[in-house]
Structure 1
Amino acid sequence: MRVRKLEQNRGWAMTVAAGILKPTLLAATSRTWIDGEKIPATGGCIVVLNHISHVDPLLSAHFVYDHGRLPRYLAKSGLFTNKYLGGFLSSAGQIPVERLSRNAIGAYDAAVKAIAEGECIVIYPEGTLTRDPDLWPMKGKTGAARIALATGCPVIPVGQWGAHEVLPPYTKKPLLVPRKNIVMKAGDPVQLDDLLAMPQGPETTAQATDRIMDAITAIVADLRGETPPAERFDPRARGVREIGNPHDVARRTRRTRKRKPSR
């Protein structure tokens, strides 16, 4: 496992975060980093990953940081409402996103600007934890593809596995014993050159999104040693809510069934 020295100026917020989080992650997990040097050492780029646990951002930040880049995230705007946390996140270069609102366009503009300034943006194209029952990457949203097509920057796919054993999806209690191994592997840049030369529109963006998700899925399949589903899970097509815990409906249904009928 090779690591690359960080050349960027971290700033006070990143220095504090790295000083607290990195030793904690080193103590709580073991790591297998593969091909992280494929993340460009300099210049604007996008790192895209599959999303299987709420602890993913901390672990992917560790991966990106260990390979010489400061990760910039598109973070939920609600995190910025607290004066102190919001100030910390802003100082760390994180970008607020107002999901399901017209203001989401502001996050797109901010991400494009960050790329132009040479930043490394980390994006989970699925937009939320995967709803696939077996935790395979599901159908992606178009944000990463739109930013990539607007900037022409490299898009580096990263597959990861193991975070769900540290903090299973939709749970709050981490499972730290026994110590879990986190595996992350970077792939070659997603080939989008032909799409950059085409007129931009929904069809082009959809093709770019599919290529990004295909690249991530291929790496995850390699890490798991398994074959992914022939058709990617699509929450909208399955009638699954895109926000919140998808298991909540099942829990409410079970509770209702247990109630005795009134007389």
Structure 2
Amino acid sequence: MTRRPPERRAGVVIDLAQLVLRPLSRLLAPPTWIGAENLSVQGAAIACGNHAGPWDAIAYGHLLQAHGIAPRFLAKSSLFAVPVLGALLRSSRQIPVARGSARTADALSAAEAALGRGELIMLFPEGTYTRDPDGWPMRARLGAARLALRSGAPLIPIACAGSREFWRPRAALPRPRRPLTLQVGEPFAVVRAPGESEKQAAERVTAELMARITAMLAGIRGEQPPAAVHDPRGDHHRPEEGRP
């Protein structure tokens, strides 16, 4: 194997953590990876996946690290306040997002800086676990699209099936030996169309991104997604907007 370029190196914390997490992942939730060759992009990129349960960060991180990419997530800031975990997240250069506050822009600035260094960052466009009753991706927020439009970095859609069955949100413990399947789609670049505002472009790009993720998830599950995407803006419980 060739030595990783600096922008793909994970650092000591993740290198040590993977000694435990990678065999644990294979034991508890054996993964199948499809299309992982699409992760071999050079330079800055934005990987985006659906978010169904507590194991997702481990599942996506395992996929990235196994293919030579430092897992660099945008994660909710409350995790950084947890003793020990917060120190590990900071030392491994994860990016905190203060949801529902004026400091959300700080996360986008930190993400732009990481992209400027040629890194690949990973985020969940939905902003929290999906609240679709059948686990399909819900209407996403615009952060990933805005980052792609501003930086020129391509978007890489990833679909993950099985994590909700393995560990349901708010469940105390997982149900071991539930297999996961992750499919990586082709990277695609985005630009603003003539006469299009930044918000209009972000909305269009977000819709395309989530359509690609949903189509891959439908293929993995062998099911038809709902005709109408769940819109979380009508939910009383909205942690992605600071309303837990």
CA distance in 2, matches of 1:154, 1:144: 10
Q: Which residue does 1:124 correspond to in 2? A: 124
SS in structure 1 of the partner of residue 160 of structure 2: strand
Equivalences for residues 20-31 of structure 1 within 5 A: 20-31=20-31
Q: Which residue does 2:227 correspond to in 1? A: 230
Q: Which residue does 1:255 correspond to in 2? A: none
SS in structure 2 of the partner of residue 58 of structure 1: helix
The list of structure 1 runs, each at least 4 consecutive aligned residues, that deviate by more than 4 angstroms after superposition, is 196-200
CA distance in 1, matches of 2:103, 2:239: 18
2:151 equivalent to 1:154: no
CA distance in 1, matches of 2:38, 2:14: 23
Shift of 1:200: 4.2
CA distance in 2, matches of 1:6, 1:123: 25
2:235 equivalent to 1:242: no
Q: 1:82 to 1:242 in 2, by over 3 A?
A: closer
Length-normalised TM-score, structure 1: 0.84
Deviations 1:89-111 (A, max 9, x none): 12211001100000010000000
2:214 equivalent to 1:180: no
In 2, are the aligned partners of 1:190 and 1:212 still within 8 Å (CA)?
no
1:30 counterpart letter in structure 2:
P
Q: Which residue does 1:71 correspond to in 2? A: 71
1:202 counterpart letter in structure 2:
K
CA distance in 2, matches of 1:240, 1:191: 35
Where does structure 1 lack aligned partners over 5 or more consecutive residues?
A: 249-263
CA distance in 1, matches of 2:157, 2:165: 22
CA distance in 1, matches of 2:30, 2:2: 20
CA distance in 2, matches of 1:227, 1:236: 24
2:238 counterpart letter in structure 1:
E
2:198 equivalent to 1:220: no
Q: Which residue does 2:169 correspond to in 1? A: 169
SS in structure 1 of the partner of residue 72 of structure 2: strand
SS in structure 2 of the partner of residue 174 of structure 1: coil
In 2, are the aligned partners of 1:45 and 1:119 still within 8 Å (CA)?
yes
> Which structure carries more relative contact order (alpha carbon 8 Å, separation 6+)?
2
Structure whose alpha-carbon radius of gyration is higher:
1
Q: 1:229 to 1:214 in 2, by over 3 A?
A: same
SS in structure 2 of the partner of residue 180 of structure 1: coil
1:118 counterpart letter in structure 2:
G
CA distance in 1, matches of 2:63, 2:171: 23
Identity of aligned residues (%): 36
Q: 1:82 to 1:229 in 2, by over 3 A?
A: closer
CA distance in 2, matches of 1:112, 1:14: 22
Equivalences for residues 243-258 of structure 1 within 5 A: 243=239
Q: CA RMSD in A?
A: 2.0
Shift of 1:146: 0.8
CA distance in 1, matches of 2:221, 2:3: 30
Deviations 1:223-257 (A, max 9, x none): 111111111100223x342129xxx9xxxxxxxxx
> Which segment drifts farther, 25-34 or 152-161?
25-34
In 2, are the aligned partners of 1:51 and 1:128 still within 8 Å (CA)?
yes
2:28 counterpart letter in structure 1:
A
Q: Which residue does 1:14 correspond to in 2? A: 14
Q: 1:134 to 1:84 in 2, by over 3 A?
A: closer
Q: Which residue does 2:90 correspond to in 1? A: 90
In 2, are the aligned partners of 1:35 and 1:185 still within 8 Å (CA)?
yes
Shift of 1:156: 0.5
2:199 counterpart letter in structure 1:
P
Shift of 1:58: 0.4
